[in-house]
Amino acid sequence: MATPKVLILRTAGTNCDYETGYAFEKAGAKVDVVHINILLANKKLLKEYQILTLPGGFTYGDDVSAGKILANQIKYNLEEDIEAFILGKKLILGICNGFQTLTKAGLLPFINKGHQEATLTFNDSNKFEDRWVYLKVCSNKSVFIKDTDVSTLYLPIAHGEGKFITKGKPVLDKIITNHQVIFTYVNECGEEAGYPWNPGGSVHNIAGICDPTGQILGMMPHPERHVEPTQHPRWTRNGLKEWGGGFIIFKNAVSYVKSVFS
């Protein structure tokens, strides 16, 4: 496949669709930004794409809870289509509000099909957190980070409901045992630490997880906001890199699609 196709799903309140589209285009994909209403009216549209992406923002104003309304739209209207999408070895990426949506739709961590087993809730600080964070790559199970030599990432976060928690310790133990924890928050020395390095107070310092197949990735930090090296806040002091730290997420996804669907 010469050019993988990415469907970026948007609705009222989505505000990171263009940045995410730019990142995928930079990685060599063709991007279409599609409103949820268009997809619900023509579910077969999803079959034309190899990557489905839920970008960041505040879908439906985060009324009820962050990502919950969009999660219900997906769960009760697109569940079978999403299942077929994954069975077809395709990829799903959820960033920030997209991660919140995937967990509340029951697509992450997907230990027990059809059940919500985790959520992203209000930060322990009780305020909106907007800062850069260090991430440790804990597992190569996810297609989005697999077979790279990347051990840490430095990315921005911007959320009010970023505290990852599971529905009981058994679920947490399961995703750890399954190597589904892909990113954890760490300090500048690569050590697990509390606030502000773990900005929301996530259990086990979790910043991103995947499903058991490794094809669905959800993460709170924004890789699309660090695809260009000049987006690093200290690039003039630390030196200009080839690309921004978050670009590997998009580059890996596009490379995977090219190899699987060639």
Those residues with Cβ within 8 angstroms of residue 193's Cβ, 6 or more apart along the chain or in another chain? 185, 186, 187, 205
CA distance 98 to 209: 12
- Segments making up each domain of the chain, as ranges: 5-260
Residue tagged active-site, from 204, 222, 226, 232: 222
What is the amino acid identity at position 101? T
Residue tagged active-site, from 129, 204, 224, 232: 224
Residue tagged active-site, from 96, 159, 210, 232: 96
**Tokens (6 digits) for 139:** 């597992």
H helix or E strand, kind and range, residue 24: helix 17-26
Q: Say if CB 128 and CB 159 are below 8 A apart.
A: yes
| Catalytic annotation present for 189 | no
What is the reported pLDDT for 258?
96
- Over residues 215-255, the pLDDT tens digits come to 999 999 999 999 999 999 999 999 899 999 999 999 999 99
What is the reported pLDDT for 250?
98
Give the count of beta carbons closer than 10 Å to the beta carbon of residue 232.
Answer: 20
| Catalytic annotation present for 138 | no
What is the reported pLDDT for 236?
93
* Positions in the chain whose pLDDT score sits under 70: 1
**Tokens (6 digits) for 179:** 């190597």
| Catalytic annotation present for 96 | yes
- Which one of 3.10.580.10, 2.40.240.10, 3.40.50.880, 3.50.50.60 gives the CATH number of domain 5-260? 3.40.50.880
